[in-house]
Amino acid sequence: MNGFAYRLKRGEEWAAEVVKIIEQRGWKTVPLGAENVAPEVHHLLSMMKNPDPTARFLRYMPDGFAVREESEEAFFFDAKSGPTIEKDAYLAYQAFAGSDRRVFVFVRHLGNTYCVPVNDLRFQDSREVVRRYPRPLPVDEDGWIAPRLLPRDEYLRWKSRNPQASGTPFRYFDLGAMSRYKMGRRTS
Domain of 148?
124-171
**Does residue 10 sit in the same domain as residue 42?**
yes
Q: What is the pLDDT of residues 103-162, one digit of tens each?
A: 999 999 988 999 999 999 999 999 999 999 988 899 999 999 999 999 999 999 998 998
**Does residue 97 sit in the same domain as residue 52?**
yes
Top pLDDT among 78 and 187 is at: 78
Q: What long-range pairs does 132-136 form, CB within 8 A, spacing at least 24?
A: none
Global model pTM greater than 0.75: yes
Beta bridge mates, 103: 76
**Does residue 82 sit in the same domain as residue 140?**
no
pLDDT band of 37, cuts 50, 70, 90: low
In this structure, is the dihedral angle defined by the CA atoms of residues 180, 32, 7 and 97, taken in order, positive or negative?
negative
**Does residue 84 sit in the same domain as residue 159?**
no
